Amino acid sequence: MHQNWVGIQAAFLKDEEEKLKKDHSLKSKLGVLVHQAVLHLVPFFVHGTQGVGHKTELYGTPYSLSEDIVSSYRMHPLIPDVFDIDGQKVNASDMTNWKARGIINRFGISKLAHAWGHQPPTTLTLHNYPDFLTKIIMPGEDGPRSMAVIDILRDRERGMVRYNQARRQYGLQAAGGSEDITDNADLVEELRSVYKSVEDVDFLVGCLAESPRPSGYVISNTAFYVFIINASRRILCDRFYQESYNAETYTAEGLAHVENTSFKSMLLRHHPELKNSIGDVTNAFMAWTGTADYSKLQPKTSSGGEGHAEL
Domain spans of the chain, in order of start: 1-48, 76-209, 247-296
Q: Are 202 and 163 in contact (CB under 8 A)?
A: yes
Q: What is the pLDDT of residue 294?
A: 60
More confident residue, 10 or 233: 233
Q: What is the pLDDT of residue 298?
A: 58
Q: What is the pLDDT of residue 141?
A: 79
- Please report which confidence band the pLDDT of residue 96 belongs to, taking 50, 70 and 90 as the band edges: confident
User: What's the CA gap between 291 and 124, in Å, rounded?
Assistant: 27
User: What's the CA gap between 209 and 188, in Å, rounded?
Assistant: 9
Choice among 124-133, 199-208, 216-225 with the minimum mean pLDDT = 216-225
Catalytic residue annotation:
73
Predicted TM-score of the model (pTM): 0.76
User: What's the DSSP call for residue 302?
Assistant: B
Q: What is the pLDDT of residue 276?
A: 92
Burial profile 216-238: b = 16 or more Cβ within 10 angstroms, e = fewer: eeebbbbbbbbbbbbbbbbbbbe
pLDDT digits (tens, 9 = 90+) for 64-78: 677 888 899 999 999
Q: What is the pLDDT of residue 68?
A: 86
